[in-house]
Amino acid sequence: MAEADATASGEEAYREACAECHRSPERLVRGMRGDESERRERLEAFLIDHHAPDEGMRQSVIAYLLSL
């Protein structure tokens, strides 16, 4: 259930913090290669310096993006 909560809060965080510039989350993750852990690492490295300094928010957004 915690994963579902993270995904739901990540979707909300994405809408609030990311969607203005990145309207399609599916488009963002479509081209990402690698297994889930590799994709998670890439997203973490990118988001830490890209408008998601809060770890809780970042992890929620990552959970949401990986669920797509």
pLDDT, tens digit, for every residue of 23-44? 999 998 888 999 999 999 999 9
Give the CA angle between residues 38, 2, 8 to the nearest 5°.
80
Mean pLDDT, residues 7-34 taken together: 92
Which residue, 35, 51, 27, is CA-closest to 61?
A: 51
Q: Domain map of the chain by residue range?
A: 2-67
Confidence of residue 13 (pLDDT cuts 50, 70, 90): very high
Q: Is the dihedral of CA 40, 15, 29, 36 positive or negative?
A: positive
Confidence of residue 51 (pLDDT cuts 50, 70, 90): confident
